[in-house]
Amino acid sequence: MYSRSASPYQNNNGVRSLINPPTFIEYKRLRFLIVDAPSSNNLPLYITEFERWNVTDVVRCCDATYPKEPLNERNIQVHDFVFADGEAPPSSIVDSWLQLIEARFGKQGQDQPSDQKLPCIAIHCVAGLGRAPVLVAIALIEEGMPSLDAVVYIRERRRGAINKKQLKYVENYKPRSKSQCILM
C-alpha cells in the first residue's frame, strides 16, 4: 500500500532519508559508497550520508545535477570523471580514477592511528548502476580481486549493476598497478 508522507524523502517515521539507499563496498584498504545522482533539492540528505561514511571525495560520472560548493564547504572534494552512459570508461578517466585511489588510500593503515575514521570515496552516475560500479570494479581488480569476482561482489550489494557491454570490459580489464604478482 502507498504511504503518504510530507516529503518523498521521508520514511514512515517521518525521518528524512534517501529513496535509494547507498551501497557500501569495502575491500582491503578500499572504501566506496555507490549512490545515484543527487539533485540540488536532496543534496543535504546525501551530505548527511557522506558525513556518516566519512566521505572525503565524490566522483561524478555523469553531468552535474548539483553544485559543488555545499560539499566543498564540508571538505569533500568533487571530481568530474564524466563518460558516456552504458559505456566503459576511456583510458584518461581510468588514469584519473586510479590516481585518486592512490592519493586517498595509498599509504592508508600504515600512518593512521587506529581510532581515526577511514576515508571513503562516494561515486555516482545517474542511477548508480553502470558507470560508477564499473570504476569501483576497476579499483577492486587493481587491489587484487579477480575481475568476475569484483562484478559478483558489487552485484550482490547493488542489484542490476554493470550491463553486458561493461561486463565485457571489466572481464578483459588488465590491472595497471605494479604491485600485482605474476606466477609462472
Active site residues: 85, 125
The H-or-E segment that residue 122 falls in is strand 120-124
C-beta separation of 19 from 37 below 8 A: no
Query: At how many degrees (to 10) do helices 147-157 and 164-172 cross?
Result: 140
* Alpha-carbon gap, residue 122 to 34, rounded angstroms: 6
> Which alpha helices (H) appear in 53-163, and where do they start and end?
69-72, 91-105, 131-142, 147-157
C-beta separation of 145 from 153 below 8 A: yes
* Alpha-carbon gap, residue 159 to 36, rounded angstroms: 13
Nearest to 120 by CA among 53, 66, 69: 53
CA distances from 173 to 122, 137, 163, 180 (A): 22, 10, 15, 13
